[in-house]
Amino acid sequence: MWGLQVQQSCCLCDQALEDRDHLFLRCEVSEHLWTLILRRLGYGRFFFHTWLAFVTWMGDRDSVTPLTLRRLASQATIYTIWTERNSRLHNNVSSSPAALFKKLDRQLKDIILARSNRKAFKGLMQRWLATE
């Protein structure tokens, strides 16, 4: 359409075709990042194998993590994966999952601090840091 030559394999792992489920949920880089995020949120090791499972998890209330923090962490993780993909694709610069998590951790702390006076954000910093 635009005359662009687009690589069809995943920019993060180069092991599978890049689609939404693979890039954001099943790629080894994404899975590693999700493992770090889910551990910080207080969950055991599990992976989302479909987008529907991910969206369902984001909407379900549970006793492990407040819904606001889970949604905030999910949005920030998806954004981090997307920006890493674009950094690798357009700038040929890559970061490790540990480095991505460090950036993500700082971003989430900043977001929570900036909104700490809002009711939905009360106690979220304590919860985010609980398993640090």
Output Rg (C-alpha) for the chain, integer angstroms. 16
Q: Identity (one letter) of the amino acid at 90?
A: H
Q: Identity (one letter) of the amino acid at 48?
A: F
pLDDT band at 92 (very low <50, low <70, confident <90, very high): very high
Question: Who wins on pLDDT, 85 or 131?
Answer: 85
In the chain, what are the domain boundaries?
A: 20-52+65-129
How far, in Å, CA of 80 to CA of 108, rounded? 11
> pTM (2 decimals)?
0.89
pLDDT of residue 48: 81
Answer for the pair 28, 15: CB distance below 8 angstroms, yes or no.
yes
